[in-house]
Amino acid sequence: MEKNIAVIKGDGIGPEIVTEAMKVLDKVAEKFGHKFNYEQLLMGGCSIDANGVPLTDETIERCKAADAVLMGSIGGNTTTSPWYKLPANLRPEAGLLKLRKSLGLFANLRPCVLYKQLSEACPLKKEIAEKGFDMLIMRELTGGLYFGERKTEEVDGVMTAVDTLSYNENEIRRIAIKAFDVAMQRRKKVTSVDKANVLDSSRLWRKVVEEVAKDYPEVTLEHMLVDNSAMQLVKDPAQFDVMVTENMFGDILSDEASMITGSIGMLASASMNETSFGLYEPSGGSAPDIAGQNKANPIATILSAAMMLRYSFKMDKEADAVENAVNQALENGFRTGDIMSEGMTLVSCSGMGDKIAELI
Ligand code: IPM
Ligand code: MG
């Protein structure tokens, strides 16, 4: 098969980690007889430097024309980078939010797995880490607090800022359906996370999720408050299969979940619309402190590329091959600095990419 992939390397460690994912994809193409054509596009801080804006209409159009988008990370140090002197709507993150919205990517899938080889890197108590876990966070990505009306103004002489958290039933229904659909392919349990003891948007969320659940009698549904979920994630992560939640809760909980997998450098993600089109990016940020040092962990980006093969290209065998190669590289003792432990072999970002590509 021939596929056109829009590639947004982005800022910070973005270019390094995406280069390794492309190395692995090229190996897949060679091995399985496919052709991947890449078109490199700018978004985030690098686009501000080149075009004055974090995302151009041209980039949006080129992404739409591609079969899928592979992305690294965007943004810089929020206290020192000149990008953060710009008005909020011209900063790197605004580009990413606009791109997600323009492509209709409402469903963000973040699988969090504790690899048995990495139980040493898991900061949880030994008896919890030993049980392992394998969960998927289904984060709503184009609604809620990150897209509601916002303003900062002086009210009666006092500076006041407002952000709005709004969801309509259709936005909730479509993400709930995605969550139940993936639960059917997994262990058939959905935990819907909300703050229904306080928020109206959460009460509507709960009601709509319950309606959707009626169409999936085989799936067990439970509701959990977001504060309790944050606690349960470190107390007993093995209890979760699919967790579905609104945009900001999902943003926060997925960082927490990534940490207990050993490192945020392990967490892949897929952002999908109603079709099989998706944008694939690691869940972690641009890590400006280690950018350009060939130190970053490329595994999250490589696993995101595997999700692209599986979800957008329907190449299951190929996706399995990439996931197995990652497993095998870990099994063989190769570690980047973030997941290093005693007795293992420290490798660079490109070193890890080489090891994984060799194992395809
Ligand atoms: C993420 C990131 C983004 C988000 C930022 C960079 C806007 O934290 O993908 O989790 O909040 O969605
Ligand atoms: Mg985040």
Q: Give the DSSP H/E element, type plus range, for residue 310.
A: none
18: nearest Cα among 7, 5, 6, 31: 7
| Residue at 266 is within a domain | no
Distance (Å, rounded) from C-alpha 86 to C-alpha 114? 39
- 61, 134: one domain: no
Clarify whether residues 153 and 249 are in a common domain. Answer: yes
Pairing of strands 242-245, 189-194: parallel
| Cα separations in angstroms, 225 against 194, 235, 259 | 5, 15, 20
Measured distance CA(94)–CA(10) in Å, rounded: 13
- DSSP string spanning 144-198? GGGTS-EEEEEETTEEEEEE-----HHHHHHHHHHHHHHHHHTTSEEEEEE-TTT
Q: Running DSSP on this structure, what letter comes out for residue 79?
A: T
In the chain, the number of structural domains is 2
**Dihedral angle over CA of 35, 38, 39, 42, nearest 10:** 160
pTM above 0.95, yes or no: no
In terms of residue numbers, what domain contains 351?
Answer: 1-108+271-360
Is the CB of 270 within 6 Å of ligand 1?
A: no
Per DSSP, the three-state class of 109 is strand
Report the atom number in ligand 1 closest to the C-alpha of 146: 11
H or E element at residue 333: none
| Residue 84 annotated as catalytic | no
CA 27 to chain centre: 23
Cβ 251 under 6 angstroms from ligand 1: yes
Q: Is the CB of 128 under 6 A from ligand 1?
A: no
Give pLDDT, residue 259: 87
pLDDT score for 43: 98
- Catalytic one among 27, 251, 338, 355? 251
Nearest CA to ligand 1 atom 8: 251
Starting from the CA of residue 139, give the closest ligand.
1
**Nearest residue CA, atom 10 of ligand 1?**
251
Residue where one domain finishes, among candidates 230, 260, 290: 260
The CB of 96 under 6 Å from ligand 1? The reply is yes
Q: What is the pLDDT of residue 104?
A: 97
Which is the closest atom of ligand 1 to the Cα of 248? Answer: 11
The residue type found at 334 is F
Mutate to test the pocket of ligand 1, among 55, 96, 256 (most ligand atoms within 8 A of CB): 96
For the chain, 360 residues long, the average pLDDT of each consecutive 10-residue run is 98 98 98 98 98 98 98 96 96 97 97 87 90 95 95 97 97 98 96 98 98 98 98 97 98 92 90 96 93 97 97 96 97 95 96 98
In a domain, residue 139? The reply is: yes
- The CATH number of the domain holding residue 139 is 3.40.718.10
What is the pLDDT at residue 146?
A: 94
Asked if residue 241 lies in contact with residue 190, where contact means CB atoms within 8 angstroms, the answer is yes
Residues sharing a CB contact under 8 Å with residue 359, sequence separation 6 or more, in sequence order? 324, 325, 328, 329
State which ligand 1 atom lies nearest to the alpha carbon of 108.
9
Task: Match 């890449």 to its residue by tokens.
Answer: 38
Give the pLDDT score at 24: 98
Residues 6+ positions from 276 with CB-CB distance below 8 Å: 311, 312, 314
What local confidence, expressed as pLDDT, does residue 118 receive? 86
Domain boundary, last residue among 213, 235, 260: 260
Q: What's the CA-to-centroid distance between 320 and ligand 2, angstroms?
A: 26
Residues 218 and 147 in one domain: yes
* Block residue for tokens 């262990």: 187
**pLDDT score recorded for residue 262:** 84
The DSSP symbol for 262 reads T
Choose one of 207, 231, 260: the last residue of a domain: 260
pLDDT at 337: 95
Of these residues, 195, 241, 280, 295, which one is catalytic?
195
Q: Is 167 annotated in the active site? A: no
Q: Are 131 and 155 in contact (CB under 8 A)?
A: no
